[in-house]
Structure 1
Amino acid sequence: MVFIQLCVAFLFLVFPVCKSQASDKYIAAVYEHALVFPDVTEKPITPAEALRMMNINLDILEKAVKEAAKKGARIIVTPEDGLHGWHFNRETIVPYTEDVPDPQVNWIPCKYPQRFGPAPVQERLSCMAKDSTIYVVANIVDRKTCNSSDPLCPSDGRYYYNTNVVFDSEGKLVARYHKYNLFTGEEHLNPPKEPEQITFDTPFGKFGIFTCWDIMFYDPAVILVNTLKVDTILFPTAWFNFLPHLSAVKIQSAWAMGMGVNFLSSNIHNTSIGMTGSGIYAPDKPREYYYNMETDEGKLLVSELDVHPKPSALYSVVDWNLYANSIKNFSPATNVTRVVIYFDEYMFTELTEAEGNISICHGDLCCHLTYRMAEKRKDEVYALGIFNGLHVVEGQFYLQICTLVKCKTTNMTTCGRPVETSSTFFKEFSLSGTFGTNYVFPEVLFSGVQLAPETFKVLKDGRLISQSSVSSKPLLTATLYGRCFLGLSLQHELIRLIAAGV
């Protein structure tokens, strides 16, 4: 009897502790999906044909959902455009669309599939979530009718929204997000009239959601973190890699680090168009990530995260221009090569020696680099680059960038062109700039487009430095990517000045 009492007492002591520990962490999954594209047609196919095509992709995604659930995942993120791709116009997209209701209607499509009209895709996603007891995040096209009483109503009487949906572990629709910042190739879709800031609560934290190119803008991305205080961002994407600065895993990892949140990113896998890069990121480092241009296979990533991640205390106290402003009597580079990278004109100056201190300035931004190579190779050229201005393609946003890059060839005009491999080791580097923003994202890539967060750190005075105590790898690029989030009126004035040649 005494033994039983002791056992009961032991259970009461142990289980609350175990429960508390379990609630502090959760397992998340993302799936990089090798999309099966439908045939491109000039006229719409039937809804039955479109559903048959989407079911091919849903079959693949369902296997990933089941595997993730078996591995203990509480939530899985699947890619943007992951059911049908993006080769559509306003007519041919129609059979792939469904009406997605406001989640406040309290709807489980798996149980009541016809409640809001035909919704076979939502029904199947709901059943995936319910049957595997896991939150499922997917991307579909929401169709909404409108009429002449709406002055913005398209001429065909319908809005088509790039839409993320989230179903909880009971199959209930708990979140719907309409992508606001559309990209080239989405002319058949509509943005919502205003950006949406969508959050939902779970037993394992508060989540926010946005899509692909939204990451480059203040609203909704930054608002979800700074104002709405989410723990984790869900990021379905169909991201084309734009090396050196907009590689998928590089920007995803930097965003998680810089904003101090978990970040779950699921990308399409299509190496023929340079599309790969998914991951599970915490503020301190990537927990799992995937970048692979050698295979046509999809990939499931599963990893444990903190329910309430602790942002690096450092990032809240970094003065991003302190060190750079303290440098006196420097001589800005005079031998400058101008190169256009993703529609922006950068200025580059070559690292001509195996070690040194160099600077380059543009307007109120000056970038400073101290470095030491293991050796100065004749077949590889590195350069310090700068961009300080308004990017006006695919939206408008102000950038301040200091970057150390490997050039594609020994010709300086190739600096900033995509390159994935290198052979030069840097024993040390220190990169800083006179930034006019606190939103500065550190990005470091090594040969093979690989992350290695343990090999660098950011100091309180704004320097991005290598960790000499850690064995380095051949460097591709080290970048401080600054984002200046301006008011619309100031952006418009900058555009006017640029157009006027001021």
Structure 2
Amino acid sequence: MAYTMVDLCWKLSVCFFCYQVVLGRVKKEGHYVAAVYEHESILSPNPTVLVDRQSALELMGRNLDIYEEQVVAAARQGAQIIVFPEDGIHGFNFTRSSIYPYLDFVLHSRSVKWNPCREPYLFNDTEVLQRLSCMALKNKIFLVANLGTKQPCEYTDPHCPTDGRYQFNTNVAFNDDGMLVATYRKHNLYFEYAFDTPPEPDYEVFDTPFAGKFGMFTCFDILFFEPAVNLIRRYNVKQVVYPTAWMNQLPLLSAVEFQQAFATAFKVNILAANIHHPTLGMTGSGIYTPVKSFIYHNMEGHGGKLIVAEIPVITIDYENNLESNKRFRENLHHSCKTFTSTSLDDQVCFKEGEETAGRASEKGKEQLLPLFYAEMMYDNFTLVPVWGRKGELQVCANTLCCYLNYRRAVLTDELYALGVFDGLHTVHGTYYVQACALVKCGGLSFSTCGQEVTDATALIDFQLWGNMSTPYIFPLLLTSGITLDFADDMGWKNNHYYISKNRTSSGLLTAALYGRWYEKD
């Protein structure tokens, strides 16, 4: 049978399409495929001992071998960008001098156009950058990784350390041709004495053909205005890459919990790669949109985990669709029917430093509940117990009052409490927090409220709100087994921020409004 040229072209097109489908490379319009890898890094047995450069390269090479395997695997699944965790290549717990052999030399990406894979001898001490660049080039994928870097400085520089060099905790981004397109130096170091804080915050973005502009920051940065919030505001960033080495702290700051809260609060996508060392409390990676997540949290198993997911590009149209989505409107109506209290519309103001006893009401009867104090997240929370099948509660501290309407389908042998904190957090960092938190306690005594809990059975319908003084509110909703759920509705009403949920997917661990009052840090 004779084929015309049109027939042949059509058949070849169909074959090519089928081939792309098999490889997972056909993507929905307005979507892209992202990958993050939670890496169980190979660590130096003696990080404080000084070694030579070759020994350092051998250790880092073992981690880079794993990276390369994961890049190949991600590319085969159609990933267009992959993110690796903080400290994944060199490890941690170094001194300033002992980390030096592990550092690559890198110039700020704005000052030089450089493809380390194609131009490997342009600078000395760039072996790690070369390998990362070649991974991106060979697999035609954007790649983001974290490494230690060094940069000599002059003594005339007032910020120059006494040893004549800067040492930075650095993220690097390569495009799918291996070109170094962005470098970011971590600004908020977390007891990282081997590294320097850059003199000024970096605001680093890079462009991609599939999702537009990406911004990046690292780990502890996510809790502060500079550079994370300012980057998103100043550059209108809607896609974020986020290497981290996060130690989970329940009930309010587990990795996946806060990563999702950040994505929801700022309506951004976050590609978050965490390190995997469960004995140190380090796990929790994911690909997050404002309304959906693909996560990995495993405190038991060993080995790394590759997550690949197709997600929508965040655009103005996408944001508008979120706001007008019919499901959200229906949930709002349902919430208003379920919670009939008028307390959102009729509030009382309290003076600075004043605390009020907890109040509960049911069927028009109001009773005072015992007010108690417990340490949560190293902060002294004021709490009231959540008793009975349903009720309305309030608890106040300083200028913040928190309110809760709740209903349980079945009473379980579990103690919950509503807590409030309005003050300066001073342990493992200093920053001002306003928090309203509904938490499951570790036992049946008040003293266990605020403890780390990972499992729950109680299904609680709730509406939680507070007269927050900051616009930066991170909604937390964590369920049994360290899984995530999403609120039916949230937002501002009558100068109060609220979150509501009916029918959680599993037992409730934490529902909270975590406010950051950056100006009071």
Same topology, TM > 0.5 = yes
Report whether the alignment pairs 1:59 with 2:69: no
Number of aligned residue pairs: 474
In the TM superposition, 1:31-180 aligns within 5 A as 31-104=37-110, 105-180=112-187
Task: Give the CA deviation at 1:394.
Answer: 4.0
Task: Give the CA deviation at 1:324.
Answer: 5.9
Residue identity over aligned pairs, in percent, reads: 41
Classify 1:223/1:342 alpha carbon distance in 2 versus 1 (closer, same or farther; 3 Å): same
Report whether the alignment pairs 1:465 with 2:471: no
Scaled by the length of structure 2, the TM-score of the pair is: 0.85
Match of 2:411 in 1: 376
In the TM superposition, 1:23-422 aligns within 5 A as 24-104=30-110, 105-184=112-191, 186-204=192-210, 205-286=212-293, 288-309=294-315, 310-311=318-319, 312-313=322-323, 326-328=345-347, 332-333=357-358, 335-378=370-413, 380-422=414-456
| Alignment check: 8 A CA contact 1:324 1:366 kept | no
Classify 1:43/1:298 alpha carbon distance in 2 versus 1 (closer, same or farther; 3 Å): closer
Task: Give the CA deviation at 1:323.
Answer: 7.7
Task: Give the CA deviation at 1:482.
Answer: 1.3
| Alignment check: 8 A CA contact 1:325 1:434 kept | no
| Alignment check: 8 A CA contact 2:90 2:148 kept | no
Classify 1:225/1:476 alpha carbon distance in 2 versus 1 (closer, same or farther; 3 Å): same
**Could you tell me how far apart the structure 1 residues matched to 2:78 and 2:27 are?**
16
**Structure 2 portions without partners, runs of 5+:** 18-24, 333-340, 350-355, 359-368
Task: Give the CA deviation at 1:103.
Answer: 1.6
Larger deviation, residues 305-314 vs 395-404: 305-314
Q: Deviations 1:123-158 (Å, cap 9, x if unpaired)?
A: 100110001110111111110122321222222222
Classify 1:42/1:80 alpha carbon distance in 2 versus 1 (closer, same or farther; 3 Å): closer
Match of 1:497 in 2: none
Task: Give the CA deviation at 1:177.
Answer: 0.2
For residue 126 of structure 1, give the secondary structure of its aligned residue in structure 2. helix
Task: Give the CA deviation at 1:38.
Answer: 1.1
Classify 1:50/1:292 alpha carbon distance in 2 versus 1 (closer, same or farther; 3 Å): same
| Alignment check: 8 A CA contact 2:27 2:33 kept | no
For residue 103 of structure 1, give the secondary structure of its aligned residue in structure 2. coil
Classify 1:20/1:177 alpha carbon distance in 2 versus 1 (closer, same or farther; 3 Å): same
**Structure 1 portions without partners, runs of 5+:** 492-502
| Displacement over 6 Å in runs of 4+ | 3-12
Instruction: Give, as a single letter, the amino acid of the residue that structure 2 aligns with 1:361.
Output: C
Report whether the alignment pairs 1:475 with 2:475: no
**Could you tell me how far apart the structure 2 residues matched to 1:329 and 1:48 are?**
67
For residue 483 of structure 2, give the secondary structure of its aligned residue in structure 1. coil
Classify 1:98/1:415 alpha carbon distance in 2 versus 1 (closer, same or farther; 3 Å): same
For residue 187 of structure 1, give the secondary structure of its aligned residue in structure 2. coil
Classify 1:270/1:107 alpha carbon distance in 2 versus 1 (closer, same or farther; 3 Å): same
**Could you tell me how far apart the structure 2 residues matched to 1:324 and 1:155 are?**
59
Instruction: Give, as a single letter, the amino acid of the residue that structure 2 aligns with 1:52.
Output: E
| Alignment check: 8 A CA contact 2:250 2:377 kept | no
**Could you tell me how far apart the structure 1 residues matched to 2:64 and 2:309 are?**
23
Instruction: Give, as a single letter, the amino acid of the residue that structure 1 aligns with 2:206.
Output: F
| Alignment check: 8 A CA contact 1:314 1:460 kept | no
Match of 2:480 in 1: 447
Classify 1:50/1:357 alpha carbon distance in 2 versus 1 (closer, same or farther; 3 Å): same
| Root-mean-square deviation over aligned CA pairs | 2.9
Instruction: Give, as a single letter, the amino acid of the residue that structure 1 aligns with 2:425.
Output: H
